[in-house]
Structure 1
Amino acid sequence: MWFWRRGADLGIDLGTATVLIYEKGKGIILNESSVVAINKNNNKVLAVGEEAKKMIGRTPGNIVAVRPLRDGVISDYDLTQKMLKEFIKKAVGKRNIVAPKVIVCIPVQATEVEKRAIIQATRNSGAKRVHIIEEPLAAAVGAGIDISKPNGSMVLDIGGGTCDVAVISLGGVVVRNSIKVAGNKFDEAIVKYIRVKYKLMIGEKTAENLKISIGTVFKGNRDISTTIKGRSLVSGLPDEIEISTDEIRLAFEETTYSIVQSVKNVLENTPPELVADIIENGILMTGGGSLLDGLDKLIQFETGVNVHVAENSVECVVEGMGKMLNYLDKLDQDINSQEIVLLLE
């Protein structure tokens, strides 16, 4: 039997694509894919994280590898709870500890039902107390922005399931928007484009590799071609095609348009004084989706505002929660995220 180690307060970035865990005093102790492999016959967890991800599309009939989180929130409560337990066990190990206090991030427009589901799943995984924080707030803190000052800071956090845009000032979110369009939608766009144009079926992993290796959203930023293999929808037999960067860019158009419009909508609703700050400081991009080739250039071109990608873009959110862990002793269970970040002043 395993137990929490005394004082092992954690920050958990519970993402659609990846889960990161930060332990107070130690730093990031886990970075794994949000995938669970289970045996459908007895509902037993066979693998979690990277090991389970390798099974996607390669399992026999009685085994299924699934993502229990969709669009930034819990889609399968039981599997999420099991996944969290396994991740925490893997991260902290078998040490004599008591239940910790935990901060978990949420999308900026998560509903009360979605918030309760995340809190309950985390508690049932062994947490003593659970605090929630909006992702852009944590990302800004993790990127080193002093959000307690009366200056406007704009953060665009693109994960696997959601794109969160927020203007932050005085420790709180002034204007926010969240859309369920992010990294996974780019993968789906590639699969759809190739299926429609070439009548070729490819898997999730192949699409993700294409996105990283030759994908771009800014015309002229890349000029690469590659050969991919899949199953022909006409003959049902293995087949291969050559695909170029320009084709991937075309496949991405609808998804990128949604993200750009989300940024524009937030800017249009931002008070003029804060817009002036954003023009001076620029837009900060965080999350794994911010690393998509040319996305920063496209947003800068469309908005006329300088865009910067955080150096630690993937870890920004969990690093921010790690800094907030130092202030948990000053909080009671019901204090909200705005009151958490004001303690950082």
Structure 2
Amino acid sequence: MNVRRDLGIDLGTANTLVYVKGKGIVLNEPSVVAINADTGEVLKVGMEAKLMLGKTPASIIALRPLRDGVIADYDVALSMLKYFIGKAKSSITLFKPRVVIGVPIGITDVERRAILEAGLEAGAARVFLIEEPMASAIGIDLDVEEPNGNMIVDIGGGTTEVAVISLGSIVVWDSIRIAGDEMDEIIVQYVRETYRIAIGERTAEKIKIDIGNVFPCQEHDSLETVVTGIDLSTGLPRRIVLRGAEVRDALMIPVATIVESIKSTLEKTPPELATDIVERGIVATGGGSLIRGIDRLIEEETGIKVVRAEDPLTCVARGAGKVLEKIEILKKLQQVD
């Protein structure tokens, strides 16, 4: 017997995750699509498409249809969403699912409408949008419907969302389009300017994962990794060794902006909720929260303890799926059917 299973989707700039109640995360793939440059035909989606980034012939383009957490190329994003929903749906039900999609707080009405319509066209029965910090909070089972202040810092691929949540609503917030992608770009820029070597975004992301850090200590200083790129002087491949301290100096440029966003949000927070946050701590989610030392840096700058969520990469998707059980919050969400 087929039972409709609803989907929670984290439609991220870097990765798309799909959560199904009772099954957990059923899909986690890069938000990348490879298309035929001449015909526009979609060739590969997800991990297979990401492996093509920077390696395709002129006839094939591998691209990300989302930028800063919103749709930059509607047709390609629609193809990607159809693929992911179809892949998730095929293993669970024949019926059209209700779909909840996590989105950045600060997106425009036009951007919201684009995501809502793409969800319907991709095969959803109904589509709801939920702000990513709220989804993250629900995903880690915070008591968001109680009169308590909870602060979420969600550092994703395209945006960083800072929000104070109480009574099922976001009370104060800030959203900046500085996050994991900007960290990758600053590493590309650093290697180019310092070593005169060109590297791609996949290499920069690997550097970030291998030795990325933002808090000075001996453990971070001793990190190192071997990087291969193209020497801009000779046009030939060249290897260098990058160390933790120099990558930290580069990453501090975008991370300093994230810290300022957290501080400004705290300054706008009502005193009673701020007291709750001091007692409970700031919860860090998203892939950017995995950067070594970012929790210690935020603690030092704010004086408030920071708790990194368990499995921070999946919080938004899990929360988007679980919100369907929270009727009062669900009523507040923008939707179409």
* TM-score between both structures, scaled by the size of structure 2: 0.95
Structure 1 residue 112 corresponds to structure 2 residue 109: yes
Structure 1: how far apart are the matches of 2:164 and 2:125?
32
User: How much does 1:227 deviate?
Assistant: 2.1
Structure 2: how far apart are the matches of 1:298 and 1:307?
9
Structure 2: how far apart are the matches of 1:338 and 1:311?
28
Structure 1 residue 264 corresponds to structure 2 residue 260: no
Structure 1 residue 212 corresponds to structure 2 residue 209: yes
Q: Is the 8 A contact 2:67 2:158 kept in 1?
A: yes
Name the residue aligned to 1:343. none
Structure 1: how far apart are the matches of 2:157 and 2:326?
29
Structure 2: how far apart are the matches of 1:288 and 1:224?
20
Name the residue aligned to 2:254. 255
Amino acid at match of 1:74: I
Name the residue aligned to 1:23. 20
1:222-281, CA deviations, whole angstroms, 9 ceiling, x for partnerless residues? 122222111011111111222111110111121011100000010000011111110000
Name the residue aligned to 1:88. 85
Structure 1 residue 202 corresponds to structure 2 residue 199: yes
Structure 2: how far apart are the matches of 1:247 and 1:327?
46
Name the residue aligned to 1:324. 323
Structure 1 residue 187 corresponds to structure 2 residue 169: no
Identity within the alignment, %: 51
Alignment of 1:1-345 (within 5 A): 6-93=3-90, 97-220=94-217, 221-222=219-220, 223-327=222-326, 335-337=331-333
1:75-116, CA deviations, whole angstroms, 9 ceiling, x for partnerless residues? 010000000111122222278723221111111111111111
Amino acid at match of 1:251: A
User: How much does 1:336 deviate?
Assistant: 2.3
SS at match of 1:314: helix
User: How much does 1:170 deviate?
Assistant: 0.6
Structure 2: how far apart are the matches of 1:95 and 1:26?
9
Unaligned 5+ segments in structure 1 are 340-345
| Closer, same or farther: CA 96–145 of 1 in aligned 2, 3 Å | closer
Q: Is the 8 A contact 1:156 1:163 kept in 2?
A: yes
Amino acid at match of 1:51: E
RMSD: 1.8
Structure 2: how far apart are the matches of 1:105 and 1:145?
17
Structure 2: how far apart are the matches of 1:83 and 1:11?
16
Structure 2: how far apart are the matches of 1:27 and 1:144?
14
User: How much does 1:338 deviate?
Assistant: 9.4
Structure 1: how far apart are the matches of 2:260 and 2:108?
22
Amino acid at match of 1:56: L
Aligned residue-pair number: 332
Q: Is the 8 A contact 2:34 2:60 kept in 1?
A: yes
